[in-house]
Homo-oligomer: A and B are copies of this chain.
């Protein structure tokens, strides 16, 4: 922790780097060689000051009066995000979501390789999904250890997620992407990111309700109420 000056990249910035990266790749494919912070901001949906400040955390890779070299920036962001190396990923739970994830092209595209797929349902074990034969969850520790898998994706029902996470962590997985609607408990040093479809919809519902409430006055009395659970 001595010269970790450059390592102080804010989480908010890290979360935006992949967005910049995607925009930059698109620009590169469109034949653009340089891009200004303003143009990149437009493509990424943020303002230009934020782009410049974010990129400044990586170093001074721009040229005043000109902008940023697209290819070079693609490389620098990729390197910072660790995308210059391949990461091995295991997916546990080959239901509808697991299928979708296994077949999702965006993984391989960014250097994430699916090392193996797992399930506990005997009817699914052996099934071929995305070119891989689904293995039984019991094999997870062996695969993770022997292949050096570091990232695990949990696409199981909620009740199974914690056990799967424990098994992953015990086998050596240090980053987990969790799609199950439960709070995972993991040791410090293990990163967990959560994607919860139901929560996203509920947040939309909140804003949607405010919109309709805005069009008509706030009636005090109990007008109508639906199922209160």
A: residues with CB less than 8 A from B are: 7, 14-15, 17-19, 21-22, 25, 43-45, 74-75, 78, 80-87, 89, 95-97, 99-101, 103-104, 106-107, 109-112, 150-151, 172, 174-177, 181, 183, 187-191, 193, 195-211, 225-229
Number of copies: 2
Q: Which residues of B contact A209 (CB under 8 A)?
A: 81-82, 85
**With A and B bound together, what is the CA distance between A199 and B195 in angstroms?**
11
A17, A151, A191 pick with most chain B CB within 10 angstroms: A191
Q: Which residues of B contact A227 (CB under 8 A)?
A: 84, 111, 172, 174, 187, 189-190
Q: Which residues of B contact A187 (CB under 8 A)?
A: 227, 229
Q: Which residues of B contact A43 (CB under 8 A)?
A: 183
Besides A82-B209, A96-B104, A175-B208, 17 other A-B contacts (C-beta < 8 A) = A14-B206, A22-B181, A81-B209, A82-B205, A84-B225, A84-B228, A87-B205, A89-B201, A95-B100, A99-B100, A104-B197, A106-B197, A110-B201, A150-B208, A174-B227, A191-B207, A195-B195
Closest to A130 in B: B96
| Among all A-B residue pairs, the 8 with the closest Cβ atoms | A82-B209, A96-B100, A189-B229, A106-B198, A18-B202, A175-B204, A18-B199, A97-B100
Q: Which residues of B contact A19 (CB under 8 A)?
A: 183, 199
Distance in angstroms from A137 CB to nearest chain B CB is 20
Closest to A97 in B: B100
